Amino acid sequence: MALPLNIESLLHGKAVEWERLEFKAGWDPLAVLHTMCAFANDFHNLGGGYIIVGVAVKQGQPLLPPVGLKQVQIDAIQKEILNLGYNAIQPYYHPVVVPAEINGRHILVIWVLGGQTRPYKARLTFAKEGKDYAYFIRKASSTVRAKGADETELLSLAATVPFDDRINQRAKIEDLSRELMKDYLEQVGSDLAKPARTLPLLELGRQMGVIGGAKEAPFPVNVGLMMFNPQPHRFFPVMQIDIVWFPKEGPGGDKFSEKIFQGPLPRMTRESLDFIRRNFISEMVIKHPDRAQATRVNNYPYEAIEEAVVNAVYHRGYDVREPVEVRISHDELVVLSYPGPDRSVRLDQLRAGRAQPRRYRNRRIGEFLKELEFTEGRATGIPKIIDAMRKNGSPPAEFDFDEDHSYFMVRLPVHPAA
């Protein structure tokens, strides 16, 4: 078995955020159990996490080369993890466990996806007289016991699985394209890329975390259809990006042109951004009377557009029949998505680039987008938009949503010299 991402990137915090990584120099079953429980509870809908056994840590950073595990330990630890999943966590939970070799040393990667039947609770101790269980969650990069308001909030998440991580009983596993899955694995440098050519589709999908359900009744997970079906809009109506160009009279006029992009999330996003770059971005040269060197600026900085579109693709609701809209006129470019941000986000914080959602709408899409390097990490999009507009000499970007959080808008004013 292999992971659907590059292990080297994982160890350096490039594939996922540091808060979703836990390093253990040696095998500590109780600590692993509690962290496994916390990742399975996925309190902030980040997509679970990874426990890497055999790698020491100092000041939050992994020490490489790894300490490593003895070869004879690997099988015993895997059997113990299986036993923990049955007997020490309720309801039972089983992560994906993958042995790996880094710099000639053996390590064990435990991939803990956000669970479908949260909340989970784990034994507090392995002592014979200790029969008590407790809920655990992640706070930043630490595993803590959920108490008080946190425990109440966790219990309120019972049976609520983010839409992108739900199984889709209207689809068949054959609706997943092996070619698209293989292309993705090759692009991210996964060790799973080579066996993907011959593995049964069911096993490949299970290893990638895009097939769920019982052994006798497997179904694709929504994010798998979004990523690896050639026509995902068949399952998610209006899963598309609409680019609308208004001539000089603006959106109030009678004339406009429109182009619609559909298809798997990565292709749809990439093709729409390429279309905007080719057709709507232009460079201006500004000469200065007091110096020989001219200034080059764009009507819209591409980096800001890219972040706005990727942000919309990541955070939109795929159970809502509304497209991502990009509206372009002579004086502004607007990106609209539906619904708006999480209720915990305040408009003043967002406009200052300091908004941090309490809980993410889509916990799996972000993981795929980060691995494909569409995004650097969570809560980075808005600050990057602000920074790109400033560096280009453009007016500040504007962000808006209504009281009901029914939409989210990013407005990029055109450069004054355009």
Q: What is the DSSP string of 163-229?
A: GGGSB-TTS-GGGS-HHHHHHHHHHHT-TTTTGGGTS-HHHHHHHHT-EEEETTEEEEBHHHHHHH-
Lowest mean pLDDT, pick from 40-49, 93-102, 325-334, 343-352:
343-352
Domain ranges for the chain, please list them: 1-159, 162-221, 241-413
Q: Is the pLDDT of residue 130 over 80?
A: no
Pair 107, 74: CB distance under 8 Å: no
Q: Fill in the amino acid letter for 155.
A: L
Type of residue at 187: Q
Pick from 314, 312, 285: nearest CA to 298: 285
Instruction: Please name which of 116, 118, 153 lies closest in space to residue 37, comparing C-alpha atoms.
Output: 118
Instruction: Look at 21-35, 139-153, 238-252, 268-282 and tell me which has the smallest mean pLDDT.
Output: 238-252
Record the pTM. 0.85
How far apart, in whole angstroms, are the C-alpha atoms of residue 261 and residue 277?
15
CATH topology of domain 1-159: 3.30.950
Burial of 134 (0-12, 13-18, 19+ CB in 10 A): middle
pLDDT at 22: 96
Instruction: Assign 75 a pLDDT band (cuts: 50, 70, 90).
Output: very high
- The confidence score (pLDDT) of residue 350 equals 82
Percentage of the chain beyond pLDDT 70 is: 97
pLDDT score at 342: 84
- Gap between the Cα atoms of 150 and 38, Å rounded: 12
Amino acid 67 reads V
Instruction: State the greatest distance between any 2 C-alpha atoms of the chain, in Å, as a whole number.
Output: 84
H or E element in which residue 101 lies: strand 96-102
CA distance 253 to 273: 25
Per the prediction, the chain carries an average pLDDT of 92
Q: Of the spans 7-21, 248-262, 308-322, which averages the highest pLDDT? A: 308-322
Q: How far apart are alpha carbons 85 and 37 in whole angstroms?
A: 9
Strand order in the sheet with 324-328: 257-261, 241-245, 324-328, 332-337, 408-413, 398-400
Q: How far apart are CA 4 and CA 20, in angstroms?
A: 16
Q: Could you give the angle at the alpha carbon of 275 between the alpha carbons of 263 and 258, nearest 5°?
A: 80
The CA distance from 401 to 380, in Å, is 19
Confirm if 220 and 226 have CB atoms less than 8 A apart.
Answer: no
Q: Which two tokens stand for residue 204?
A: 């490949």
C-alpha closest to that of 363 among 34, 1, 8, 17: 17
State how beta strands 241-245 and 324-328 pair. Answer: parallel
CB 114, CB 39: distance < 8 Å: yes
Q: Which residues pair with 138 in a beta bridge?
A: 143
pLDDT at 119: 95
Which DSSP symbol is given to 69? B
State in words which class domain 241-413 has: alpha beta
Token pair, residue 369, equals 């987008």
In this chain, the answer to whether the domains covering 1-159 and 241-413 adopt an identical fold is no
